[in-house]
């Protein structure tokens, strides 16, 4: 009995310890999930509110007593596309973002490659300066130049101005990429008869695709959300989404439902694109970041 | 007063108005002698005018009438619309760089007027305005004319006017057997009686955000006998009257207001009223649809209107020109632009605009029953009464209005929070004096 008992004590102590540890672990993971839930809630609440409000009438939106209980309406979305012609602004935004990103890539990628391979740091600095100087500094001169050229009211000034943001960004991300790329690969391409341009196009460019996609997506989003340049350089026909969303604010009334529906419409394309290419972004960001 | 038969009548009138507007283009095609475009000349036929407007109900209504003008004048109009802050930025970039292609535009005379006029961006309309006797400049309210006149030039033509009113909940007043306050003392008593935090109802709600509150505080300031500046052009914030006004405004919101008023501009404040959580709301009469439209307000049918209560210095609410039309100094089509401005501000057009719910600047329109037909009955009475009196500005009349509003708005926040108002006013007074010296 006693021996049994004596043996049992450490055994039960061990199992008690294991139990305690298990409990501890369960508690920790519960805490972890709780923390995740809280953080998610805080981050997602504005989105949830936006989504819910876009299906509400004005009276329901300001009602704080009952956030989830309301009769959904599609009227806001109808207004967005019919009354406020959001389709046109959506196309404008898309055209401007896509074109400015495309041209930024065409100019920025070779520039980044050249800067990395031929150590043209001064050129890199000049590019960076364009990014450091506050964008508003350029606005008035641009406006004068573009209006003298009669280009206000076309998409040209918008595409060019958005490249001011996109091009340096793409170039700077990609410089780090190309510096990291083993030069031996291009050297062997040259031995096999490739010109320097051929080596860039056939070897360096395909290898740097994750970086290209990451920087292109971020440049696209910059352009998609750009407000200041579009405000000054667009007229009512070339207006982009961030400007058009202000149509829901008038002097003596705010159409919250329409505003929220429009916000959903603006957020959705970017969200979808980002979800699709997310793995490139993660890879691209780390690849760019680890290289000092 | 404002009961169901009236509502029915109003909706009938609205239905008729809508039916008429639907027929509008067809009507103009046949009627050459349309009274709305009677005086319009076709001298400028073929000219394309570029106009920049604000997102504003006035804009929506005038766009409905414009086809008739285009037909009578032979001109074509190209209109861009922006939210007010964007409009201001857009105009300033175009006008500063001297490349703006707009011929005429809407602007806020009290907010940007002096800046625009000072920079010579607005064409002086004095000669035009005084030459045309049929159009009748004298028919515009004196305060409205004063607002668009600066150092002898007329820099715009008033199009929209507004006044401060008291919105109140008829049902809550009736339940307590209270009468509508006519003085500021009674206002405070009513706010105290109706304040019911246990049931989530505040006695009163008003703006409390630093710069946004300035305009709605102005009527309190005037009614206590103070003003932003003294006659010699220095700061008027050091007077006992100004202090009393700040103290009163702050006390109302601190003791009988909802939580968080210092974060409130009008959209936040009206949301409190819309959800039935405030017994009174004092703000511009131009916002009335936010309170009386059942799709926005849960208490739409219980809203009453009353004039701004009188203070120790009498009933001195603001009565301002919130929007005006100006002609770009750089425009090559100034005369054609004037033809449009003249038409858009002519008595028949202003009548039409006012009937669609846009309070205008013309005395003759306010005095005719037809001119009041577009408003709820009680609102019309209050607006008519207040359009004939009051102060023509609701913020300091300076060039850099934004900065001035920040300075004079700071003590409002301190007063609401119950801080050291004396010190805040002293500081604001000194800053405002320094500011006024620079602002020339």
Do B296 and A152 lie within an 8 Å CB cutoff?
no
Helix (H, G, I), strand (E, B) or coil at A191: helix
- The counts of H helices and E strands in chain B are 18, 9
Q: Which tokens hold the place of B44?
A: 């400028």
Q: How confident is the model at residue A1 (pLDDT cuts 50, 70, 90)?
A: very low
CA distance A289 to B40: 68
What does the angle CA A91 – CA A92 – CA A94 come to, to the nearest 5 degrees? 65
Strand partners, B169: B303
DSSP string, B228-289: SB-TTSSB-TTSHHHHHHHHHHHHHHHHHS-TTGGG--HHHHHHHHHTT-BSEEEEEGGGHH
Cα–Cα distance between B250 and B97 in angstroms, integer? 43
Q: Average pLDDT, whole number, for chain A?
A: 85
Going from N- to C-terminal start, the domains of chain B cover 4-30+41-161+320-387, 163-318+395-438
With an 8 Å Cβ cutoff, are A252 and B297 in contact?
no
* Domains B4-30+41-161+320-387 and B163-318+395-438 belong to one CATH topology: yes
B90 to A148: CB separation less than 8 angstroms, yes or no: no
CA distance A246 to chain B (A): 6
At residue B169, φ and ψ (nearest 5 deg) are -90, 105
Both structure tokens of A196: 């320097």
Determine contact: B331 vs chain A, CB below 8 A: no
Q: Give, for all 440 residues of chain B, the pLDDT tens digit.
A: 344 445 454 454 545 544 444 444 444 444 456 888 888 888 999 999 999 999 999 999 999 999 999 999 999 999 999 988 889 988 998 888 887 779 999 999 999 999 999 999 999 999 999 998 889 999 999 889 999 998 889 999 999 999 999 999 999 999 999 999 999 999 999 999 999 999 999 999 999 999 999 999 999 999 999 999 999 999 999 999 999 999 999 999 999 999 999 999 999 999 999 999 999 999 999 899 889 988 889 999 999 999 999 999 998 999 999 999 999 999 999 999 999 999 999 999 999 999 998 999 999 999 999 999 989 889 999 998 998 888 999 999 999 999 999 999 999 999 999 999 999 999 999 999 999 999 87
**Taking a C-beta distance cutoff of 8 angstroms, is the pair B203, B195 a contact?**
yes
pLDDT tens for B340-370 read 999 999 999 999 999 998 999 999 999 999 9
d(CA B102, CA B56): 18
Q: Is B191 helix (H, G, I), strand (E, B) or coil?
A: helix
Mutation target to probe the A interface, by most A beta carbons within 10 A, among B106, B271, B272 is B271
DSSP tally for chain A: helices H, then strands E: 15, 2
- Residue B98 tokens, joined: 């001297």
What pLDDT, in 10s, does the model give residues A221-238? 999 999 888 888 888 788
CB-neighbour burial class of residue A260 (10 A; exposed 0-12, middle 13-18, buried 19+): buried
In whole angstroms, give the CA distance from residue A168 to residue B49. 40
Nearest to A252 among B57, B81, B297 (CB): B57
Among the residues of B148-239, which ranges form H helices?
170-176, 184-194, 213-223
Question: Residue B229 phi/psi, 5° resolution?
Answer: -125, 155
Residue B84, chain A, CB below 8 Å: the answer is yes
Q: Render B79-91 in DSSP notation, one character per residue.
A: EEEE-HHHHHHHH
Q: Using a CB-CB distance cutoff of 8 angstroms, which residues of chain A are in contact with residue B94? A: 143
Residue whose C-alpha is closest to residue B293's, from B372, B376, B405: B376
Separation of alpha carbons A100 and B82, rounded Å:
25
Inter-chain touch A246–B90, beta carbons under 8 Å: no
* Touching A: B residues 280-299, CB under 8 Å: 284, 286-287, 289-290, 294-298
Residue B158 β-bridge partners: B324
CB contact under 8 A, A251 and B93: no
Residues of B in contact with A250 (CB under 8 A): 54-57, 83
Separation CA B184–CA B344 (nearest Å): 39
- CB of B438 within 8 Å of any CB in chain A? no
Q: Residue A111 and residue A120: Cα distance in Å, rounded?
A: 9
Which residues, listed in sequence order, are joined to residue B283 by a DSSP beta bridge? Answer: B165
CB contact (8 A) between residue B94 and residue A143: yes
Give the residue-averaged pLDDT of A270-286.
Answer: 71
| Helix, strand, coil percentages, rounded to 5, for chain A | 80, 0, 20
The pLDDT, as a whole number, for residue A12 is: 61
User: What average pLDDT is seen over chain B?
Assistant: 90
Are B261 and B428 contacting, i.e. CB atoms less than 8 angstroms apart? no
* Residues of chain B contacting residue A249, judged by C-beta atoms under 8 Å apart: 55, 83
Yes or no: say if B347 and B136 are a contact pair by the CB < 8 Å rule: yes
Cα B252 from Cα B266, distance rounded (Å): 17
Q: Which of A57, A59, A232 sits opposite B90 (nearest CB)?
A: A232
B199–A contact, CB cutoff 8 A: no
Superfamily of segment(s) B163-318+395-438: Periplasmic binding protein-like II (3.40.190.10)
Cα distance from N-terminal residue to C-terminal residue, chain B: 49
Q: Which CATH number fits domain B4-30+41-161+320-387: 3.30.1330.50, 3.30.1020.10, 3.90.209.20, 3.40.190.10?
A: 3.40.190.10
Give the pLDDT confidence of A145-171 residue by residue, as tens digits: 998 888 888 899 999 999 988 999 999
pLDDT at A165: 87
Distance (Å, whole) CA B156 – CA B51: 14
Q: How far apart are CA A283 and CA B190, in angstroms?
A: 65
Strands in chain A per DSSP E: 249-250, 253-254
């Amino acid at each position: 009995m006693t021996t049994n008992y004596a043996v049992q004590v450490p055994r039960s102590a061990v199992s008690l310890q294991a139990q305690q540890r298990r409990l501890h672990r369960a508690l920790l993971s519960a805490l972890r999930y709780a923390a995740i839930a809280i953080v998610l809630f805080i981050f997602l609440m504005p989105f949830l509110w936006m989504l819910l409000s876009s299906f509400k009438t004005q009276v329901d939106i300001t009602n704080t007593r009952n956030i989830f209980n309301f009769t959904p309406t599609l009227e806001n979305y109808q207004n967005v596309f019919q009354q406020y012609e959001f389709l046109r602004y959506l196309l404008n935004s898309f055209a401007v973002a896509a074109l400015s990103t495309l041209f930024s890539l065409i100019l920025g990628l070779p520039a980044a490659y050249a800067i990395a391979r031929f150590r043209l740091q001064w050129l890199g600095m000049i590019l960076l300066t364009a990014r450091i100087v506050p964008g508003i500094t350029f606005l008035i001169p641009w406006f004068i130049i573009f209006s003298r050229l009669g280009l206000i009211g076309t998409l040209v000034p918008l595409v060019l101005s958005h490249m001011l943001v996109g091009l340096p960004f793409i170039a700077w991300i990609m410089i780090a990429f190309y510096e990291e790329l083993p030069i031996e690969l291009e050297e062997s391409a040259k031995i096999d008869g490739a010109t320097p341009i051929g080596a860039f196009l056939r070897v360096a460019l395909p290898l740097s695709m994750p970086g290209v996609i990451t920087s292109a997506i971020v440049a696209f989003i910059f352009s998609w959300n750009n407000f200041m340049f579009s405000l000054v350089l667009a007229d009512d026909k070339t207006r982009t989404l961030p400007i058009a969303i202000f149509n829901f604010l008038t002097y003596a009334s705010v159409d919250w439902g329409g505003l929220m529906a429009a916000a959903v419409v603006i957020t959705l394309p970017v969200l979808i694109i980002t979800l699709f290419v997310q793995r490139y972004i993660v890879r691209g960001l780390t690849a760019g970041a680890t290289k000092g | 007063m404002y009961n169901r038969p009236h509502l029915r009548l109003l909706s009938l009138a609205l239905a008729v108005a809508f039916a008429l507007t639907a027929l509008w283009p067809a009507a103009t095609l046949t009627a050459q002698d349309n009274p709305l475009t009677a005086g319009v000349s076709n001298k400028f036929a073929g000219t394309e005018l570029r106009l920049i407007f604000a997102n504003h109900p006035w804009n929506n209504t005038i766009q409905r009438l414009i086809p008739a003008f285009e037909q009578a004048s032979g001109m074509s109009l190209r209109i861009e619309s922006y939210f007010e802050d964007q409009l201001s930025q857009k105009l300033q970039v175009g006008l500063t760089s001297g490349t703006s292609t707009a011929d005429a535009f809407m602007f806020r005379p009290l907010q940007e007027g002096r800046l625009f006029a000072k920079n010579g961006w607005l064409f002086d309309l004095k000669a035009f305005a005084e030459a045309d006797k049929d159009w009748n400049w004298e028919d515009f309210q004196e305060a409205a004319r004063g607002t668009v006149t600066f150092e002898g030039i007329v820099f715009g033509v008033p199009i929209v006017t507004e006044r401060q009113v008291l919105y109140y909940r008829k049902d809550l007043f009736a339940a307590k057997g209270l009468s509508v306050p006519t003085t500021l003392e009674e206002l405070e008593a009513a706010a105290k009686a109706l304040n019911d935090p246990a049931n989530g109802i505040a006695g009163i709600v008003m703006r409390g955000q630093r710069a946004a509150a300035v305009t709605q505080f102005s009527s309190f300031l005037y009614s206590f006998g103070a003003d932003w500046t003294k006659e010699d052009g220095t700061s008027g914030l050091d007077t006992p009257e100004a202090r009393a006004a700040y103290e009163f405004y702050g006390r109302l919101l601190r003791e009988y207001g909802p939580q968080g008023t210092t974060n409130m501009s009008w959209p936040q404040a009206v949301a409190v009223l819309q959800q039935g959580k405030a017994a009174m709301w004092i703000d511009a009469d131009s916002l009335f649809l936010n309170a009386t439209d059942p799709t926005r307000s849960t208490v739409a049918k219980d809203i009453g209107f009353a004039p701004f209560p009188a203070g120790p210095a009498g009933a001195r609410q603001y009565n301002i020109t919130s929007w005006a039309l100006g002609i770009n100094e750089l425009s090559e089509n100034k005369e054609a632009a004037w033809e449009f401005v003249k038409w858009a501000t002519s008595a028949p057009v202003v009548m039409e605009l006012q009937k669609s719910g846009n309070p205008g600047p013309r005395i003759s329109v306010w005095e005719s029953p037809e001119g009041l037909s577009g408003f709820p009955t009680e609102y019309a009475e209050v607006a008519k009464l207040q359009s004939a009196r009051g102060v023509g500005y609701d913020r300091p009349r300076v060039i850099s209005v934004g900065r001035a509003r920040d300075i004079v708005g700071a003590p409002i926040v301190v007063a609401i929070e119950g801080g050291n108002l004396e010190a805040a006013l002293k500081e604001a007074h000194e800053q405002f004096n320094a500011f006024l010296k620079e602002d020339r």
